[in-house]
Amino acid sequence: MKLRDLLKDIPVLAASVDLDTEIQEVRYDSRAVKPGDLFVAVRGFATDGHEYIGMALKKGAAAVVCEQAGKGIPAIVVQDSRAALADIAGNRFGHPSRRLTMIGVTGTNGKTTTTTLIKHILECQGHKVGLIGTNENLIGSEVIPTERTTPESYELQALFARMADAGCTHCVMEVSSHSLVLGRVRGVHFAVGAFTNLTQDHLDFHKTMEAYRKAKAKLFTMCDRGVINLDDGVADKMLADAACPCLTFSAEKDAADLSAKNIELGAAGVSFVVATRDAIARVSLGIPGHFSVENALAALGVCVALGVPLEDAARALGTAHGVKGRAEVVPTGTEYTVLIDYAHAPDGVSNILRTVRGFAKGRVIALFGCGGDRDRTKRPIMGHLAAELADYCIVTSDNPRTEQPEAIIEDILAGMKDAKVPVDVICDRREAIYHAMDIAQKDDVIVLMGKGHETYQEIDHVKHHMDEREIVADYLREHKK
């Protein structure tokens, strides 16, 4: 592909390279550069791609896109190289998202379950659907491993192209606040965008809750239609910032366009009546917790906005399954229950523990930690909530990254000083899980929080294999012996 074609519609401040140069591939990681490639130097938070321009040229880069260039460099100078990368990626793959009906879901919690439910409903309508999210990326039923909630713009456009080429008609994706701020979804237009909720998370990046909210609100400047959770405290602000007409949903308010009534919560799932201004249907969903009602309403709202009859969408939810790492029950064959959930922020901890309290006949044993190199202010809050809502707490490690696990635990314990329940500290997560199973009694529910779908523990930039399902199985096998 010629360089000028890759740069189509991108404002260029200066060029010191022939625009008819043939480009083999686009790279933003200098380590991957091969002869004839175009290297895009992106300013990151840990490293600055401009520092690796020399390396890229030594490896044979034909040209460099950057914000500043030294003499003698075959460069294209732009105002914002991160934005340019997204635009170049769109040009490189022929803007494949335009061949798909795009659906984006943003919010602190519920994105993974909501997108999965949307995919299921649309597939029940006969569509082939791609999914991009925290757990995995899917092209129909083909699994594509994922590293982050929303891939970098180049990988994202490549994935859209694979979906469109494979015959997908729709793509439903989790749209993180990071991806909106960092332009990963730049150039993507969504048929429908949905907002689940806003609770404290990612303040290490956004600094304030209002900045965090504003980041998520950007999605609704990129949509034809919005779907907003009217029960969330920032709903009015999200509606005010939206640049598209919005449909609202609620599990509490009759004023919403889509509302849930006669809600029944149980250990096996939820059921309720969903009503719009001109239709009504019964919903049964095999995922427990009041938050499952909200996720189901969000999915129904999106599908109704896409033209799916409410009755058809509600019927499809009756055959939907839970999501790995979200209120996931691990088979043990014992008289107690082990449940895995991704809860890694205050609202998630509150949601899952309140849900378990609603059906647990015995004690609720909460095992959790907090991630390193992330928002420290949420750690004591999570500790306080766990001590308030559980009958027994075990504080352990969860992806310490470059921090000392013991220091993270001290931050958590600061919120548990007045705990009226037992609090054990076991830094090694495997040992902590063994301890939880050692003390478990008949009808107790052990809630392993924080890892969810993850099968690793990240320490000093290295991901060490650690699957909590395997640890539970190891314990059971060893104790059978």
**Nearest 10 degrees: Cα torsion 290, 352, 200, 130:** -70
Q: Note the residue count of the chain.
A: 481
Q: Is 8 exposed, middle or buried (0-12, 13-18, 19+ CB in 10 A)?
A: exposed
Three-state SS for 431?
Answer: helix
- pLDDT at residue 180, as a whole number: 92
- pLDDT at residue 134, as a whole number: 84
- pLDDT at residue 209, as a whole number: 87
- How sure is the predictor about 481, in pLDDT bands with cuts at 50, 70 and 90? low
Task: State the Cα–Cα distance between residues 42 and 51, nearest whole angstrom.
Answer: 10
User: What share of the chain has pLDDT > 70, as a percent?
Assistant: 98
| Overall average pLDDT of the 361-374 stretch | 96
Residue 60, sorted as left (phi over 0), alpha (psi -120 to 50) or beta, turns out to be: left
Model pTM?
Answer: 0.85
Q: What is the pLDDT of residues 427-449, one digit of tens each?
A: 999 999 999 999 999 999 999 99
Q: What is the pLDDT of residues 98-155, one digit of tens each?
A: 999 999 999 988 999 999 999 999 999 999 999 999 888 999 889 987 776 678 899 9
Residue whose C-alpha is closest to residue 342's, from 106, 109, 104, 105: 109
Task: State the Cα–Cα distance between residues 184 and 219, nearest whole angstrom.
Answer: 12
Residue 173, sorted as left (phi over 0), alpha (psi -120 to 50) or beta, turns out to be: beta
| Overall average pLDDT of the 180-191 stretch | 94
Task: State the Cα–Cα distance between residues 190 and 177, nearest whole angstrom.
Answer: 16
How many Cβ atoms sit within 10 Å of the Cβ of residue 460? Answer: 10
Residue with tokens 């500790």: 383
Is the model's pLDDT at 249 over the cut of 60? yes
Per DSSP, the residues of 162-193 read: HHHHTT-SEEEEE--HHHHHTTTTTT--EEEE
Task: State the Cα–Cα distance between residues 121 and 359, nearest whole angstrom.
Answer: 28
AA letter at 292: S
Count the alpha carbons within 13 Å of 13 in the hemisphere toward its beta carbon. 12
- pLDDT at residue 206, as a whole number: 67
Q: What is the pLDDT of residues 18-67, one digit of tens each?
A: 999 999 999 999 999 999 999 999 988 778 999 999 999 999 999 999 99
Residue whose C-alpha is closest to residue 325's, from 142, 123, 111: 111
Q: Characterize the bridge pairing of strands 129-132 and 137-139.
A: antiparallel
The crossing angle, in degrees rounded to 10, of helices 378-389 and 346-357 is: 10
- How sure is the predictor about 480, in pLDDT bands with cuts at 50, 70 and 90? confident
Task: State the Cα–Cα distance between residues 235 and 129, nearest whole angstrom.
Answer: 29
Residues 6+ apart with CB under 8 A from 340: 325, 328, 330, 448, 451, 452, 468, 469
The H or E element containing residue 259 is strand 258-266
- pLDDT at residue 123, as a whole number: 98
